[in-house]
Amino acid sequence: MRIPIEIGPFVTGEIPDPLEYQYLDSNGAGMPITGYSATFTVREKFATLPTIDAVVAVVSNAALGKVTYSWVGTEFPTQGRYFSEFWIGNGVQRYASEAIEFDVYDSIGSVPVI
């Protein structure tokens, strides 16, 4: 059973700070991921298709196993419960992150352009 990491909550249209995740080895140290590529996927709990699917994330610190996704504001278009995960791979090995979950609530008005 995967125990999810909880973040948020968020409001539709928000653009939060970038999300960083660290892959750890069996000793709890940052797993070196030099030469790996990263993706990020988000799906609303009851949706059949992801809101974003395998969008490029950044390997932000390969020596420490860190990846980052910079939100653009379209990842949670409706209120609901969302699931997300990072994936990394180097063409030989491929690893998923822990599940990352969050709630999204409707804005009380239109989302401002600020």
Type of residue numbered 47: A
Residue percentage of the chain with pLDDT more than 90: 73
- Per-residue model confidence (pLDDT) at position 33: 97
Q: Which two tokens stand for residue 32?
A: 């070196």
pLDDT band, very low/low/confident/very high, at 1 (cuts 50, 70, 90): low
| Angstrom distance (rounded) from CA 82 to CA 50 | 10
Higher-confidence residue of 18 and 3: namely 18
Rounded to the nearest 5 degrees, what angle is found at the Cα of 86, between the Cα atoms of 83 and 92? Answer: 140
pLDDT tens sequence across 27-67? 999 999 999 999 999 999 888 888 878 788 999 999 999 99
Rounded to the nearest 5 degrees, what angle is found at the Cα of 30, between the Cα atoms of 87 and 57? Answer: 30
CA distances from 47 to 7, 61, 79 (A): 20, 32, 12
How many residues are present in the chain? 114
Phi/psi zone of residue 74: left (φ > 0), alpha (ψ -120 to 50 degrees), beta? alpha
Nearest to 84 by CA among 17, 6, 9, 31: 6
| CATH code at 5-105 | 2.60.40.3350
pLDDT at 2 over 80: no
